[in-house]
Structure 1
Amino acid sequence: MSDRPERPRILIVDDGSLIRLYYRETLEAAGFDVAEALNGIEALEKLLSGRFDLVIVDINMPKMDGMSFLRALRGRHGEAGSLPALMISSEAANHDVAAARAAGANFYLVKPVAAEVLALHAAVLTGRPA
């Protein structure tokens, strides 16, 4: 058993491979463990098989979009249902932000997101010192 505290785990849910790579590199450099999913269905499957401290999700994805994923996530009982969720999307209208909040997002950012902003929001939402 290690004396080091366990690193917070973040699940990135986005169909864009370059976006996932950027988020992964940023978050790993900030001290997080990162897993990835291509859409909401894959994300729900990953949540069944592991512990996560934060989910970062896009809106527009195939098979299950981010809004549907958040509604499904919030409908779960236990830890997964209360998992902090950060939605990051290119959709910037007020109604998009309101819809994300209604679906269960704790916070909403508009792409592109600077690395330091992403790391700061991840730290706050996982309860780590910034």
Structure 2
Amino acid sequence: MTRILVVDDATTVRMYYRDVLEEAGFAVEEAVNGFEGLEKAVAESFDLILVDVNMPKMDGYAFLRQGRTMPELQAVPAVMISTESAAQDRDRAYAAGANLYLVKPVRPEVLTEVAAVMAGVAP
């Protein structure tokens, strides 16, 4: 089963992603900040990581920058999803190691299609 790690400090956002993705057949784990996300991502194996930008303790940019230095996470696709919509935010995400940048809110059909494509499974 395709495994996705959702790293976001907002409980409602994590629940939304979990509901949508599990209904589409994905297995979903959650982390509330970048530190917890890195711990889980290194300890377990994931096919895709969805990460927020603005989080306490470690933001999404730092999570991606640090994760991309770890051999276990270098090849795992990462999608940054944020309310920040300026071109500079998107550029920062790609520079930090994101494979794709989406602006919240993300419609369910977009979320499932992006997850399938990025994780390498047929949508």
| Separation in structure 2 between the aligned mates of residue 68 and residue 106 of structure 1, nearest angstrom | 15
Residue 55 of structure 2 is aligned with which of 61, 65, 79?
A: 61
**Deviation by residue 1:5-37 (Cα, 9 ceiling, x = unmatched):** xx1000000000000000000000111000000
| Separation in structure 2 between the aligned mates of residue 81 and residue 33 of structure 1, nearest angstrom | 21
Identity of aligned residues (%): 55
- 1:82 Cα deviation after fit: 1.5
Matched, 1:129 2:87: no
Matched, 1:101 2:91: no
Alignment partner, residue 50 of structure 1: 44
> TM-score if structure 1 supplies the norm length?
0.93
Q: After TM superposition, what 4+ stretches of structure 1 lie above 4 angstroms from structure 2?
A: none
**Deviation by residue 1:22-79 (Cα, 9 ceiling, x = unmatched):** 00000001110000000000011111221100000000000000000000010111x4
- 1:123 Cα deviation after fit: 0.2
Matched, 1:28 2:22: yes
| Separation in structure 2 between the aligned mates of residue 91 and residue 99 of structure 1, nearest angstrom | 11
Residue 120 of structure 1 is aligned with which of 92, 113, 123?
A: 113
Matched, 1:15 2:9: yes
Query: Aligned partner of 1:52: which letter?
Result: F
> What is the aligned residue count?
123
| Separation in structure 1 between the aligned mates of residue 99 and residue 43 of structure 2, nearest angstrom | 23
Alignment partner, residue 90 of structure 1: 83
Which structure is larger by alpha-carbon Rg, 1 or 2? 1
